[in-house]
Amino acid sequence: MVTILAIESSCDDTSAAVLRDNVLLSNVIASQKVHEQYGGVVPELASRAHQQNIIPVVDAAIREAGIQKTDIDAVAFTRGPGLMGSLMVGVSFAKSFAQALGKPLIEVNHLQAHVLSHFIQAESGSTPTFPFLCLLVSGGHTQILLLRDHFDMEVLGQTIDDAAGEAIDKAAKIMDLGYPGGPIIDRLAKEGNPEAFKFATPQIAGYDYSFSGIKTSFLYFLRDQLKVDPDFIENHKADLCASIQKTIVSFLLKKVERAALDHQVRQVAIAGGVSANSLLRSELQRICDKHGWTAFIPPFKFCTDNAAMVGIAGYYKYLRGEFADISLPPYTRG
Ligand code: KG4
Ligand code: ZN
């Protein structure tokens, strides 16, 4: 049996988790509220908050797991991509902790970790088998991946500009709904009519995406409407949320469905922060049911950033004997 302590600090969540093999023993997340008033993550404030949070979060993860520090066999950490200052805190902590324990280090790619969260032993249900497709959708990334093995992920398509989560967050910002906009739009959309307004999606070749045009046409549409009715957003908030959400989700899934058909894959997973979106979840299930495919939809706690996913990625690297040198620096881009 292998016990892994995992650390995640790539953006604005400080998280630590303990796994015993593929079983999660604890997963502690400290979310940083300080960014809300700025409508986005402020990097300097994020690294400062990570520094305040990291020791209590790791302590809590070890305590909740019911283990001793000496039980830890390896320390896994997110090396990148992410914000440099944020990564530095988790990376430095992981290195010193591993060195103090005399245990090996395992570096983890944040995006791979999001995808591999599907291999954390589930309380119910099964894990995917290879090959399978995964739509990775977060605030920073939008990719369709074909997985042939745990670390063999072929990028079939990706966004050429904004990420899906970024587009949703920007739409929310335009409507002055708050940050992060994803969960707010999801909630308000439940009361609205998704067919109320139509927003065009761009024609992009293959399995690639583009979201900046959707955001711009949303902005211009609202500008025109506000000239006629200054209360337009207030009066149509739910319909606007439902319509923009539907536009983005349909665009995402249309390409995923195409990719699964073309590659004859019968299992489709979603991962990353936007996979918490209720329409994306229900629409993926509907498409999979239609084709007789299996949908893998992560529990909410594994959608947004967490260390449990870093731990499961670390576990598979441990099995492969892939350990990291203490001199490795973080990297900001995937
Ligand atoms: O994976 P994540 O926590 O951080 C990154 O690695 O980027 O993803 C954060 C993104 C944000 O854009 C947030 O608005 C979005 O995930 N998000 C959602 C929902 N919950 C979080 N988007 C749509 N619907 C949601 N329910
Ligand atoms: Zn993430």
DSSP per-residue codes, 268-333? EEEESGGGG-HHHHHHHHHHHHHHTPEEE---GGGTSS-SHHHHHHHHHHHHTT--B-TTPPP-S-
pLDDT of amino acid 334: 73
Q: How far is the CA of 226 from the centre of ligand 2 (A)?
A: 35
From the CB of 277, is ligand 1 less than 6 Å away? yes
Name the pLDDT band for 123 (thresholds 50, 70, 90).
Answer: low
CB atoms within 10 A of CB 55: 13
Q: Which atom of ligand 1 is nearest to the CA of 164?
A: 12
Residue 212 buriedness (CB in 10 A; 0-12 / 13-18 / 19+): middle
Q: Which of the ligands is closest to the CA of residue 180? A: 1
Identify the three-state secondary structure at position 258: helix
Indicate left, alpha or beta for 298 from its phi (over 0: left) and psi (-120 to 50: alpha).
beta
Give me the domains of the chain, ranges plus CATH numbers: 3-117+303-320 (3.30.420.40), 129-298 (3.30.420.40)
Could you say which DSSP state residue 121 is in? P
Q: For 137-193, write each residue's pLDDT tens digit.
A: 999 899 999 999 999 999 999 999 999 999 999 999 999 999 889 999 999 999 999
From the CB of 81, is ligand 1 less than 6 Å away? no
Sheet holding 3-8, edge to edge: 23-31, 13-20, 3-8, 74-80, 105-109
From the CB of 181, is ligand 1 less than 6 Å away? yes
From the CB of 330, is ligand 1 less than 6 Å away? no
β-pair partners for 157: 144
Query: Average of pLDDT values for 278-297?
Result: 98
Residue whose CB lies within 8 A of the most ligand 1 atoms, among 116, 137, 168, for a mutation test:
168
Q: How far is the CA of 272 from the centre of ligand 1 (A)?
A: 7
Could you say which DSSP state residue 12 is in? S
